Structure 1
Amino acid sequence: MSILLYTSKMFIFIFLIIASLAYATYVRNTIWKDEMAFWKDVEIKSPLKERGYNNLGITYSKKRMYEEAIHEYQIALKINPHLPLLYNNLGKAYHEEGKLDDAIKKYVMAISLKSDYSEAYYNLGNLYRDKGRLSDAIKEYQTALRLKPDYPGAHTNLGNIYYIQGRIDEAVEEYLTAIRYNPDHTEAHYNLGNAYFKIGRFADAIKEYMAVLEIEPDYEDALHNLRLLQRKGGKAHY
């Protein structure tokens, strides 16, 4: 074989390798751009692993496609029925679909598999809140916070129940704690503003509504309440 022919074949071989790698990279990048397509691709390549089904379920949930999410989580659980995360995610999808009793069963199952699963206790608290079982909701939030004291969402939602029950001082404390752990927690700032508004601490309420609008300028409820306070004689302008 002549050197020229050998060199030409090597060039073609190297070119084909580079081209195939470039195409594979292009395909992979295209898939990555579409999260749903990516996880469907993972399912195809690894049909006996729960990861793809779980993450596709999460993607469907983000798009509010809860029936599709439930289907994916159920497949994942058939593959791995001992993973608490899957029961928790399925519970959240059932909750969003309004299937509250089914959601309770899944949260309880998640907790039975992982007794220190703070998010499952938190989600169970949210569900009890939605069912009007406020005492049970408080218990679940408190358990979540015992396991994870720096849980802003649990502090905020516990504060919301205290607010509903007229326990304003306790609500204020929970909102302040949530903000301490997450200074940009708009709901905690907004609800703290409402609590201050309710007990006549108007200057403090204005401060909290302003904090909300600094984080999220289009927060209509905060803007509305701030204008109400301005009409009461507050000095803040927005």
Structure 2
Amino acid sequence: MAESKRQSIAGKIATPKVGPSKDGIDGDSILYKAVGARVKITCAPHNNVLEGTLFTTCSVTNAIAINTAPAPPNPSAPLSNQPGDYHIIPFAHILSFELIGSGERVSDSGPGFDGSLPPISKVDLAAIRAREEQTIREMKKKDAQKGKGVSKEAQEIFDAVSRLLPTRWADAQIVVNDAVLINPPYTVDNLAAPAGKERSVDQVRKILENYYQRKKNAGARAPVATPIAPRKGG
């Protein structure tokens, strides 16, 4: 009887109802009701067939997620213990959709997300937006650390100073501590600052002197000779 019921349900499946509604996923949608069930989906553009557990369906992104990991050898093992092999499929790419098994669900649960196993947590949109805003801030900060139209050496000097003191670009000038200007060509003779900022100038001068000294020492190192192996046969 259970088998005939399953076949009856599967026979009614055609193109899934995926249209958006004011409440997001329609509670009457076949895709919604099939969450947690075993399904077989044929996808465009190459008629690829995927069979697995319908993990979730989303009318915001207009896509579904299916876990095609094989069933565990032990039939009693819960799906939540299975390894995941997830595929994201846009609604528009679904050519056919077939329900082939009810899958594992929380006992006495209704259709949809609440009874699915493994359980599906709600997406914290506020946390996602906060992460997005933080990423944008970091990208803008990183971009501000790159000089526009300056030489490679100028950028190296900027990086050397910024590791020790607050530094920013103002066109081709390097501004340190919002007080000291390092003007092109960025030597110790090109420092400028308003009266009363002598201490800041001394800090920047020391950093520049150390930078140029390291560069001079690196250039003075003798190249390491590469030994030549003797030719075979004399």
TM-score category of the 2 structures, normalised to the smaller one: under 0.3
Question: Greater share of helix residues, 1 or 2?
Answer: 1
Q: TM-score, normalised by structure 1?
A: 0.24
Question: Greater share of strand residues, 1 or 2?
Answer: 2
Highest RCO, 1 vs 2 (Cα 8 Å, sep ≥ 6): 2
Of structures 1 and 2, the larger Rg is shown by: 2
